[in-house]
Amino acid sequence: MAEELVDYRNFVFDSRRWRGYRHRPGDVIVATPPKCGTTWMQTIVASLLFPDGDFPAPVTLLAPWIDARFTGPIEEILGEIEAQTHRRALKTHTPADGVPWFPTASYIVVGRDGRDVFMSFVNHMANMRPDVVGELITSAIEEGIELPGEVPPSPDDIHPFYAWWLREGPLFEFVSRWWERRHEPNVLFVHYDDMKANLDGEMRRVAAFLGIDVDESTWPAQVERCTFEWMKANADMIGNFEDHFIGGAETFLYKATNGRWRDVLSEDELAAFETRAAEALPDDARAWLTGRSAVDE
């Protein structure tokens, strides 16, 4: 790994936690901005790696979020990853220049229309347990992580919160950095809308990218395990959400719907989104993110 990694640090996650990661050829890294279908793609990868549904651990532990500051000491997390004997999967919310790059790793990048991301983020922040947030902020200060000078508005006050998210949210920087890697043979871009429209087809596409043969005898059950309805009904196989979210899986695995912003955001706010996206992203990346075109492969 020749290039020097950029540090991305805030009170929730810290890309420096990647520094102790020891790569194993075949590792799958699910890389997404927050609220773009991360847990969904983790479940898809788990269903492909374990076609009989015999996950050895809940999905969020099976494919741990290395960056997360709330999952425990990084030495313990890396030790648990090292102890896995099956093909491994990992999760990150870090832009491409902060994640170790290996030609023998497979990077799956998932994107979603930013306006839908925002609506999901509102629910996410409104239901994070205040005690957890407080502990993360305190520990971040103790670790020397610089906190933003501007205090985010409450998600209950949705229009100021939207203006803050548009300025400070990580979506555009994340997509911009990963977009530069889109032509690498070990990078696959997947759009949330395509997963909703054709889950079977997108799962086959992911399987082909990972070099996994589809067994048609188990395939219907594999796809079923990746539906939103199944994930919500079997949340104990996905993760323990009660530790960090009020309402647990009921609020974390919320609606998985798109377009709710149409009844919330004003014309001026939608125009501000278009302006921000145009400033931050090249035209092709912006078109892909908003579902207006496919990745140029």
Q: What is the pLDDT of residue 11?
A: 81
Nearest C-alpha neighbor of 215 from the set 204, 226, 224, 225: 204
CA distances from 185 to 108, 189, 283 (A): 11, 11, 22
Residue 147 DSSP symbol: P
User: In sequence order, what are the residues at sequence separation of 6 or more whose Cβ sits closer than 8 angstroms to the Cβ of residue 114?
Assistant: 169, 171, 172, 273, 277, 289, 290
Sorted by where each starts, the structural domains of the chain and their CATH numbers stand as 15-289 (3.40.50.300)
Given this model, what pLDDT does residue 102 score? 97
pLDDT per position as a tens digit, 32-49: 999 899 999 999 999 999
For the segment 200-223, what is each residue's pLDDT rounded down to a tens digit? Answer: 999 999 999 999 999 999 999 999
- Among 26-30, 81-85, 252-256, the range scoring the smallest mean pLDDT is 252-256
pLDDT for res 259: 77
pLDDT greater than 80 at residue 254: no
- pLDDT digits 0-9 by tens, 107-152: 999 999 999 999 888 876 766 667 776 777 777 777 777 776 667 7
| pLDDT at residue 156, rounded to an integer | 85
Each residue of 214-252: b (16+ CB within 10 Å) or e?
A: eeeeebeebbebbebebbeeebebbbebeebbeebbeeb
**Torsion, CA 211, CA 213, CA 219, CA 224, rounded to 10:** -10
Alpha helices in the chain (DSSP H): 38-49, 59-62, 74-83, 114-127, 130-142, 158-168, 171-179, 192-197, 199-210, 219-224, 228-233, 249-252, 267-280, 283-289
Amino acid sitting at position 58 = P
pLDDT band at 291 (very low <50, low <70, confident <90, very high): confident
Q: In this predicted structure, which of 73-87, 228-242, 261-275, 278-292 has the lowest mean pLDDT? A: 228-242
**Confidence grade of residue 296 (pLDDT, cut at 50, 70, 90):** very low
- Which residues, listed in sequence order, are joined to residue 190 by a DSSP beta bridge? 110
Distance between CA atoms of 189 and 297, rounded to whole angstroms?
Answer: 9
